[in-house]
Structure 1
Amino acid sequence: MHQPIVESRPRAWPRWSTVLPLLLGLVAVVAFARSIIIVDQTEAVYVTEFGRSVRLIDKPGLHWKWPYQSRRGFDKRLQLDSPPPREMLTKDKKNLEVAWYVSWRITDVEKFLRSVRTLPDASARVEDMAASVLAAELGGHELAGLVRVDRNSALDAMMTDVTARVAEQAGKEYGLQVVDVRLRRLNYPEEVRSAVFEQIRSERKKVAAKTRAEGESKARTIRSAADLERAKTVAEAEAEAARVVGEGEAEATRIANAAHAADPAFYQFLKTLETYRAALDNKTTLVLSAESDFLRLLTRGVADPAPTSSLAQKDKKRATKPEAEPEPVPRPASETKP
């Protein structure tokens, strides 16, 4: 059997009247998208035309440009760079490891675009600039003046000068505003740090030993002065006590003499009682003669039972006879002549 012969017809292409509008619409969408500029409040946008700057847009919002033009944004926020530490020398030839940070922002976008063009390039330029200025300033100060913690420390004044010099140079050359340059760390290099710390400890120990010696010397001086003052006070007190005791004893002797002169028998009686009280107690045993004067009061009693009456009689006689001579005081038997 013979198969029927099918004739092949040429493929029909779409008409230009359908494709052309699609192409034009796509081009219009692309052109519209390239004509829109959305500027954020944290950035500034430069419109460039074939690499040449045309205009600067620093206000946030929606803006327009030609489709063939390009946009280039720059961050206007504060930038913070913390470069790695570098070794620098002080005025007294101390090798230090210095770490710092720099905060800056773009103020003149046109000058920035002509000089550095990108943020990494600007960070590198500011870092080198700050390092050179900081090394120059650090070479004019001694280490002891920088690490002091009182008001006479030169560190704050030095960093203020560094910030001013870096800000002036960065503003003239790159259109940047350097807000602050501050130190993060100031230390000795790692390879000599232990030796330096050991030297500092030994110096501090010497100072501590000297201070302790001075303190001990002052303490001895104070103790000597206190001992001298104490001895002087004690001597004065003892002298005053001796004087008071002497006056008291003299007064007691005067009173005893007056009492003896007023009534010798009664005075002798009281003295004998005091002697008994001092010598005799529950544990005392005395072996004496019966004729002993010590026990005369106990064995014979009081010789004159009314001494006060005789004293009154004598006072009465003296009152009635004021011009009569006083009776002679009898002397003891031991003082009479044979």
Structure 2
Amino acid sequence: MHQPIESRPVSLPRWPMILALFLGLIVLVAFARSVLIVDQTEAVYVTEFGRSVRLIDTPGLHWKWPYQSRRGFDKRLQLDSPPPREMLTKDKKNLEIAWYVSWRITDVEKFLRSVRTLPDASARVEDMAASVLAAELGGHDLAGLVRVDRSSALDAMMADVTARVADQAGKEYGLQVVDVRLRRLNYPEEVRSAVFEQIRSERKKVAAKTRAEGESKARTIRSAADLERAKTVAEAEAEAARVVGEGEAESTRIANAAHAADPAFYQFLKTLETYRAALDQKTTLVLAADSDFLRLLTRGVANPAPVPTPSVARTAQTAPKPETEPAPASETKP
């Protein structure tokens, strides 16, 4: 009889599987290293063993060899605001200057050869702007820079600073400096209070001088106005006196003409006017029986003068003016 043969599992070698997995891993890594994604805010340089091969600035999906590397740079406008520094003006004024610089990368190859990173580029631009700004500030007085009108030299100075920094940064680092501007211009903290006190004292002197000049001009204007007013009042008073004199002369002429036309009637009217002025509601008269005033009140005029004819009236108008007015017909006796 034959004995049964035992079945044993056949063991396959493991190295082909390991090799397949290793090759797959290599292919996967190679594929991942071949894919190049460029963002719209950056520019990418493809380098081969440290040497720049090509520049890609179009956003999207790109390819490269697995052994090649990518170097991305932000192509947007960079804004640096370094801490303030103390600088001297032409008139030896110590100021604390704070500024900002805006720049971007334009020549990536030159940028890679010179600074290579954005922080290094910021430091270089900061030092460059500080040196140029200190040189330009040393050629101007503080009074010429700090002005409120259009004659200030600050705008022209900052334009020169921007042009010099842009020219130097473009030649050395491949950077485009867009603008260099001041953020703050002030005295140092340790001397600021004393300087402000001096400014207040000077402003008070200027204000006092201005007030004195204004008061002097005000007095001059008031004197001229008073003189003009006195002249106008004198002319008005002279004209009023002339008009009053003419009126009185005309009144006297009319009265003389009326007196010459009927002297008795004129004397009677003047007597009545005298009585009207002397008597009022508070006056009490004690008259004698033979008083002319009582006789006038009770009997009237004894013999009134006849009304003159036209010829007589004309003759009376041409008569000479009496030197004195006739006395009243009777006197008032208390």
TM range (shorter): 0.7 to 0.9
User: CA–CA distance in 2 between the matches of 1:295 and 1:227?
Assistant: 60
User: CA–CA distance in 2 between the matches of 1:26 and 1:62?
Assistant: 22
1:283 maps to 2:288? no
User: CA–CA distance in 1 between the matches of 2:222 and 2:171?
Assistant: 71
Letter matched to residue 161 of structure 1: D
User: CA–CA distance in 2 between the matches of 1:21 and 1:242?
Assistant: 136
Letter matched to residue 171 of structure 1: G
Q: Name the stretch that deviates more: 282-291 or 272-281.
A: 282-291
Q: C-alpha displacement at 1:288, in angstroms?
A: 5.6
Paired residues of 2:261 and 2:313 also in contact (CA < 8 A): no
Q: C-alpha displacement at 1:275, in angstroms?
A: 1.1
User: CA–CA distance in 1 between the matches of 2:189 and 2:206?
Assistant: 26
> Which of 297, 306, 311 in structure 1 is aligned with 2:308?
311
User: CA–CA distance in 2 between the matches of 1:69 and 1:332?
Assistant: 141
* Match of residue 113 from structure 1: 112
RMSD: 2.6
1:65 maps to 2:64? yes
Q: C-alpha displacement at 1:304, in angstroms?
A: 3.0
Percent of paired sites with the same residue:
87
* Match of residue 135 from structure 1: 134
Cα distance change, pair 280–318 in 1 and its aligned pair in 2 (3 A): closer
Q: C-alpha displacement at 1:32, in angstroms?
A: 1.0
Letter matched to residue 234 of structure 1: V
Q: Name the stretch that deviates more: 281-290 or 211-220.
A: 281-290
Q: C-alpha displacement at 1:69, in angstroms?
A: 1.7
* Match of residue 201 from structure 2: 202
Q: C-alpha displacement at 1:57, in angstroms?
A: 1.8
Letter matched to residue 169 of structure 2: A
Cα distance change, pair 52–317 in 1 and its aligned pair in 2 (3 A): closer
Cα distance change, pair 255–130 in 1 and its aligned pair in 2 (3 A): same
Letter matched to residue 211 of structure 1: T
* Match of residue 229 from structure 1: 228
User: CA–CA distance in 2 between the matches of 1:99 and 1:271?
Assistant: 102
* Match of residue 172 from structure 1: 171
User: CA–CA distance in 1 between the matches of 2:284 and 2:201?
Assistant: 80
User: CA–CA distance in 2 between the matches of 1:115 and 1:58?
Assistant: 20
1:257 maps to 2:256? yes
Deviation per CA, 1:54-99, whole angstroms, max 9, x where unpaired?
2222222222222122111111110000000011111111111110
- SS at 2:67's partner residue? coil
1:185 maps to 2:184? yes
- SS at 1:151's partner residue? coil
* Match of residue 42 from structure 1: 41
Q: C-alpha displacement at 1:216, in angstroms?
A: 1.2
User: CA–CA distance in 1 between the matches of 2:47 and 2:215?
Assistant: 81
1:161 maps to 2:152? no
* Match of residue 7 from structure 1: none
- SS at 1:310's partner residue? coil
Cα distance change, pair 78–70 in 1 and its aligned pair in 2 (3 A): same
Letter matched to residue 60 of structure 2: G
User: CA–CA distance in 2 between the matches of 1:187 and 1:196?
Assistant: 10
Cα distance change, pair 13–148 in 1 and its aligned pair in 2 (3 A): farther
* Match of residue 5 from structure 1: none
* Match of residue 97 from structure 1: 96
- SS at 2:272's partner residue? helix
Q: C-alpha displacement at 1:241, in angstroms?
A: 1.0
- SS at 1:77's partner residue? coil
Cα distance change, pair 316–218 in 1 and its aligned pair in 2 (3 A): closer
Paired residues of 2:102 and 2:177 also in contact (CA < 8 A): yes
1:79 maps to 2:89? no
User: CA–CA distance in 2 between the matches of 1:13 and 1:186?
Assistant: 82
Letter matched to residue 267 of structure 1: Y
* Match of residue 271 from structure 2: 272
User: After superposition, where does 1:312-327 map in structure 2 within 5 Å?
Assistant: 312=309, 315=310
Cα distance change, pair 296–216 in 1 and its aligned pair in 2 (3 A): farther
Q: C-alpha displacement at 1:267, in angstroms?
A: 0.4
* Match of residue 241 from structure 1: 240
User: CA–CA distance in 2 between the matches of 1:113 and 1:73?
Assistant: 11
In the alignment, structure 1 segments of 5+ residues that lack a partner are 1-11
Deviation per CA, 1:137-189, whole angstroms, max 9, x where unpaired?
11111111211121111111111111111101100000000001111001111
1:152 maps to 2:151? yes
Q: Name the stretch that deviates more: 209-218 or 165-174.
A: 209-218
Letter matched to residue 60 of structure 1: P
